[in-house]
Homo-oligomer: A and B are copies of this chain.
Amino acid sequence: MDQSTAPIVPYVYIKHTGIVRDANPVRVVSSCYLEIYTFPFDVQNCTFTFRSYIHHVSDIRIILGKTVEDILKRSISVLSTEGEWELMDIKSSKIKLSTFNQGESNPYDELCFYIVLRRRATLYVVNLLIPSCFLITVDLFSFLLPPQNVDRSSFKMTLILGYSVFLLIVNDLLPVTGSTIPLINVFFAICLALMVASLLETILITNLLVAPCNFCPVPGWVRVLVLRFMGTLVWLPQKSREDKIILNPVARGEVQTGEPGKMWAEAGDPALAELRNLGNELQSIRLHVAQHVDGNQISQDWMQVGYIIDRLLFGVYCIFITFSFIVILSIWSNSYNQ
- By a beta-carbon cutoff of 8 Å, the part of chain A in contact with chain B is 1-7, 9, 11, 13, 23, 25, 33, 53-54, 81-84, 86, 120, 122-123, 126-127, 130-131, 134-135, 137-138, 141-142, 144-146, 149-151, 153-155, 157-162, 164-169, 171-173, 176-179, 181, 185-186, 189, 192-193, 196, 199-200, 203-204, 206-207, 210-211, 247-248, 250-251, 254, 257-258, 261, 264, 267, 269-291, 293
Chain B residues with Cβ under 8 A from A4's Cβ?
7
- A207 and B145 form a contact (CB under 8 A): yes
Closest to A208 in B: B144
Additional A-B contact list (13), CB under 8 Å, known A138-B200, A158-B161: A9-B54, A130-B193, A131-B164, A131-B167, A141-B199, A145-B203, A146-B207, A146-B210, A254-B281, A261-B270, A261-B274, A281-B283, A282-B282
Q: Which of B179, B203, B204, B248 contacts A284 (CB 8 A)?
A: B248
- B153 and A155 form a contact (CB under 8 A): yes
Known contacts being A131-B192, A275-B278, is A144 close to B286, with CB within 8 Å?
Answer: no
Chain B residues with Cβ under 8 A from A193's Cβ?
130, 134
Q: Give 4 closest A-B pairs by Cβ, nearest first.
A: A251-B284, A83-B177, A33-B81, A281-B282
20 example contacts (A-B, Cβ-Cβ < 8 A) are as follows A1-B7, A9-B54, A11-B54, A23-B54, A126-B181, A126-B185, A131-B167, A135-B196, A138-B199, A146-B210, A150-B154, A155-B157, A161-B161, A168-B169, A251-B287, A254-B281, A261-B270, A261-B274, A271-B275, A282-B285
